[in-house]
Amino acid sequence: MESKQAVYRSANDVTLLHDEGVLNADPVLPEWNVNLTALFAKLDESAPRGF
């Protein structure tokens, strides 16, 4: 089963858009296992120019 997700961020939050709707989460929540610094670095790398 394939699932598509898009991740958007601002300075203080992360928004995940996926097949089932929109989830908003504060990145400082302890239950997050994601290395957000690495994730943001990767997103910045692949962002279109001008952002």
**What is the full per-residue pLDDT of the chain (51 aa) written as tens digits?**
555 556 666 666 666 655 555 555 554 444 455 677 777 787 778 777 765
Helix extents (H) in 1-51: 36-46
d(CA 7, CA 14): 7
Q: Where are the domains of the chain?
A: 5-46
> In the beta sheet, which residues pair with residue 22?
17
pLDDT for the residue 27: 47
Closest residue by Cα to residue 25 from 8, 37, 42, 3: 8
d(CA 16, CA 49): 22
d(CA 41, CA 38): 5
pTM comes to 0.29
pLDDT for the residue 4: 57
